[in-house]
Homo-oligomer: A and B are copies of this chain.
Amino acid sequence: MGVIVQKFGGSSVADADKIFNVAGRIIDAYKKTDQVVVVVSAQGDTTDDLIEKAKEINTNPSKREMDVLLSTGEQITISLLSMALEKLGYPVISLTGWQVGIQTDSNNMAARIKKIDTQRINSELDKKKIVIVAGFQGINRYNDITTLGRGGSDTTAVALAAALHADICEIYTDVDGVYTADPRIIKNALKLKDVSYDEMLELASLGANVLHNRSVELAKKYNVDLEVKSSFEKIEGTKVKEVGLVEKMLVRGVARDNNVARISVVGIADKPGKAYKLFALLAKGQINVDVILQSIGRENTKDISFTVPADHLDDTLKILNDNLEVLEATEIKYSDKVSKVSIVGAGMASNPGVAAKMFEALYEAQININMISTSEIKVSVLIDEENAERAVKAIHAKFFDE
């Protein structure tokens, strides 16, 4: 067997007991293959505590210095986990991002990995050492510390798995796999044995908080087999990989995203180029626009509605209000009391009945649909937030209980 990459998140290494639990998982892998590379995050609330410390001093510090500060969190974890493995009698060495040689661009707090130097890790693996790597961090060309932003440790793990041509990249979390819906809401949600990268991407972006999209995109690009598993229970998880064509289950999951806001720009002059101008302005402002809907307004005008992540709402409104005249619009309406509920499944494209079945479930539950959006592998509806949980239950029951 070749290299195994394992990744453990912050909640899995939050205290000494949990660190020994993780050490046990690592030893299980080491007994199968002596080529084990482990990526860890900062312990529990460490990152939040460090951010708090910074805020006491400067509410707007440079991103470079934030990265110097935040990167200490993972460095603490790698040393403690190594000490636990030493205690248990296993050969181990910890490596920070710069010690590995995780080269990134200079975009502090949201850096992208450009290249990974595998020489040091391979030399330690040759000595049969378990290699513990600090996730979330790297260095830029000037030897400055960078961090990768949200989902950074997952990204580190997948990038290492790709660079080391690992057999598998195991992502350990506090859930034990990917489900057909959030198991906290839907009691009889089913755990998926495997999902494709594309399905996982849709599920991740739709709020099934298991894997960050960046890491799934990277895994897809380099064809890295992922497995999402529980840190605490020794049961099979969900494999994320390129799966075969036809699947029995057309719909793989029902996901909900509450971090969404709906905006309507009302009374735009119905001339060519106005929609272009609107979205060009938003793109320039780094706003991620999702579902878009255009309708005919009154008296030679049109209304354009779209959704953005809820935390982009303020920025979006500012851009729109600053440009009301340019857009020749009369009014901006908005709401952040909306949710996006989606069904995801690779087999959906060639089965038009799927969307209808979803709408039927919503109709039966008397839930009104604000907007609809579809892609090859998903159907999303925008509904009032207060109906979101009921909607997920109704849709899940329709597809998985009947």
Contact = CB atoms under 8 A, between A and B. Distances in A.
A286 interface: no
Interface stretch (A72-80, A152-160, A207-215, A277-285): A72-80
Given A57-B16, A57-B19, A68-B94, A62 B86 contact: yes
Contact of A68 (B20, B68, B84, B96): B96
Given A57-B16, A84-B58, A87-B57, A68 B72 contact: no
Of the listed residues A56, A65, A84, A99, the one surrounded by the most CB atoms of chain B closer than 10 A to its CB is A65
Contacts of A94: 65, 68
A78 B83 contact: no
A54 interface: yes
A351 interface: no
A125 interface: no
Contact of A61 (B64, B78, B86): B86
A145 B93 CA distance: 12
Interface string A14-40: 001001100000000000000000000
A50 interface: yes
A87 B75 contact: no
A183 to B, nearest CB: 32
Interface in A45-69: 50, 53-54, 56-58, 61-62, 64-66, 68-69
Contacts of A58: 83-84, 86-87
A62 B93 CA distance: 10
A84 B96 contact: no
A64 B64 CA distance: 27
A69 B75 CA distance: 7
Contact of A79 (B54, B56, B99): B54
A125 to B, nearest CB: 16
A270 to B, nearest CB: 49
Q: Which 10 residue pairs spanning A and B have beta carbons closest together?
A: A69-B79, A72-B72, A61-B83, A68-B79, A58-B83, A58-B87, A16-B56, A65-B79, A65-B82, A57-B83
30 contacts: A16-B57, A53-B76, A53-B80, A54-B83, A57-B80, A57-B83, A57-B84, A57-B87, A58-B87, A61-B79, A61-B83, A61-B87, A62-B82, A62-B83, A64-B93, A65-B79, A65-B82, A68-B78, A68-B79, A68-B82, A68-B94, A69-B76, A69-B79, A69-B80, A71-B75, A72-B75, A72-B76, A96-B145, A99-B144, A120-B143
